[in-house]
Amino acid sequence: MRHWIFMIIAILTEVIGTLAMKYSTEGAHAVGLSIMYIMLIFSYTSLAIAVKRIPLAVAYGAWESIGLILIALFSYLLFAEPLGFIKISAILIIIAGIILLEIGTVEPETAEIKE
């Protein structure tokens, strides 16, 4: 369970960092870039801890895909970027892909992974 908490932290800090990058183009250049760098360091560090137990394909797929969905939604809310039918359809397809990837991933039964 602890590794899934790091996975969530990795996703959220990636989203915050990416939104901060956009924010830096809106006027607060130094603040936005500083937040972006810090959040991306936390994101990659958390992802590295998460993949100790979560299969890499699932972890990376979830990190990028859920991050992409959240970035699209927050870009709509914070920066008034369009969120039309095609983007919403793409988000639903991404969610289906994450579910299928998780269903299709077989975890080792007897292999004990050291922390």
Q: Is the dihedral of CA 94, 96, 99, 102 positive or negative?
A: negative
Instruction: Please name which of 89, 29, 25, 101 lies closest in space to residue 64, comparing C-alpha atoms.
Output: 101
Q: What number of other Cβ atoms are within 10 A of residue 40's Cβ?
A: 17
Q: What is the pLDDT of residues 32-52, one digit of tens each?
A: 999 999 999 999 999 999 999
User: Under DSSP, is residue 83 helix (H, G, I), strand (E, B) or coil?
Assistant: coil
Q: What is the pLDDT of residues 42-89, one digit of tens each?
A: 999 999 999 999 988 888 888 999 999 999 999 999 999 999 999 999
**Can you give the residue ranges of every domain in the chain?**
2-104
Residue written as tokens 């130094």?
30
